[in-house]
A and B are shown apart, each in its own frame.
Chain A
């Protein structure tokens, strides 16, 4: 009871004092506000970007190797730009001979030829831009995507070149009122008609979600007269084997192609590079935020020293009526911590507003970490920068303090 009464009294007194000095209080907490705002925003931005990228990659199995024409991911213009460019160009083209030679690598569990082309997809009701992907069933296993309606195509669908298609969730949703209704319907793509036999769940991967997946041999003919593939996706059962399989794949392909004509990329390689970049970016941004927190803390220390001087006589009076040094220390520490946490809360509120405003365009997110940091860092700053002025107040000799005018 008494304990609580004591802290309540201190907090109440401090808040009343803030109310009397509104401008000063606001200006003092401004430094912390900006600091916390930037740190929280940076975390939100960093996490948002990281999650976004991670989401994009997570759908591709972690033990995946991609064989692509040209420089691929790792070099050239880098990352997504090359990926996009690669999609459009169609590439040098691999064919079934490569599949046969790669099948000899025992550690390879899944082997997916990928024919890729983009065009309008039409249903009876709607028209929508989509990607035609000539693949086999292993794709769904590598991508970890499950059928939510209907079924996947079978090996015999591939061999007899059945005109059947499995739709990604987004495109099924757009072409048909209800994605569940898609099964059994007919879609048109480049003047060819395909019967929809299944719809797979949303993966977060844009190409996959807007994809019309058909048996790769079905593309042979007017769509893909050269019988080539844009890429080959390889799934390896064990993570430990990825590097070895990658090396063997390179060796096999080097027998047919020149070194620069293809690239073999480990999916985890890509992810770790991206992660590294974001970690560096995050570090730099957090450092910038920390500097503003430091400056804000010094501001609080400054104003607390002024407050101690201003209240020297009050300290003397309190000491005379029985306040211990610890009581005085607590009083000023409470004030500096409240001041700082007030700034922290303002910063957090501002950050939340910004995140809410930006959210429709970019997946920023404020997580528990950000909230903990906002409160933790601002209280820590309040304590750290408040303890020096508070100690000065506590150590004042009562008689000298009470005589101070």
Chain B
């Protein structure tokens, strides 16, 4: 489904070039459940941003569903993000001045296509599914972290994406709540066939995925040490 070919991403810190992702080639098939594991600074977040089309590679190619997306315009990338990708972040990244319901609805406002579902109905269904329907009119900062992350997952799912990218989704949660979130992601993959990529530094979390990819200093390595 997604193919990375010799992808590099480098930044300039002053005059110094930092290669966050260095010559990475990677294939993610449809309906996979993958863990990308790496320590902080390993480049795993950058890799996720590249897969999620939030950033363009410095060199190399990213092929999404057979189409080279590494040279697309900002507008085209935004459209693909909207339609195909769902993000779940460590710090939830909900908009605090919107209610739970409005947060989940947000991606539908940016759809450039006619939606094949009723946004409000689908939002309510998702909230019910994740047991937070009674919180729909709350503001994010008035509900627990676990609930916030469920809202974020609902938001990631609203546009029926092909792939969910979760960046340290349990990082701000206690282990019990974290497990629940991982289980939700797992069930999305299992029951609905959504491709799920979890980026984490914890091997216990990565161990719950079906395939693990280790990344160190911007490279994919065989075994994490």
Contact = CB atoms under 8 A, between A and B. Distances in A.
Given A320-B81, A327-B78, 4 more contacts: A6-B109, A320-B54, A322-B79, A322-B111
Nearest to B89: A402
B122 interface: no
Interface in B86-144: 87, 89, 93-95, 97, 106-107, 109-111, 114
Q: How large is the interface on A (under 10, 10 to 19, 20 to 34, 35 or more residues)?
A: 20 to 34
- The 3 A-B residue pairs with the shortest CB-CB distance in the complex, in nearest-first order: A322-B82, A321-B107, A322-B110
B75 interface: yes
Interface residues of B, number: 25
B110 A327 contact: yes
Contact of B95 (A317, A324, A399): A317
A325 interface: yes
B75 A324 contact: yes
A324 B107 contact: no
Contacts of A217: none
Q: Which of B95, B97, B110 has the most CB of A within 10 A?
A: B110
Interface of B: 49, 52, 54-55, 74-75, 78-79, 81-83, 87, 89, 93-95, 97, 106-107, 109-111, 114, 155, 159
B69 to A, nearest CB: 14
Contact of A317 (B74, B93, B159): B93
8 contacts: A2-B111, A20-B97, A321-B87, A321-B106, A322-B79, A322-B82, A327-B78, A399-B49
B180 to A, nearest CB: 23
Contacts of A320: 52, 54, 81, 87, 93
Contacts of B94: 317
A9 interface: yes
A319 B77 CA distance: 10
Q: Which of B49, B78, B82 has the most CB of A within 10 A?
A: B78
Given A317-B95, A321-B106, A326 B54 contact: no
Contacts of B155: 321
A314 interface: yes
Nearest to A331: B109
Nearest to B159: A322
Contacts of A16: 97
Interface in A300-337: 313-314, 316-327
A2 B115 CA distance: 10
Contact of B107 (A2, A316, A322): A322
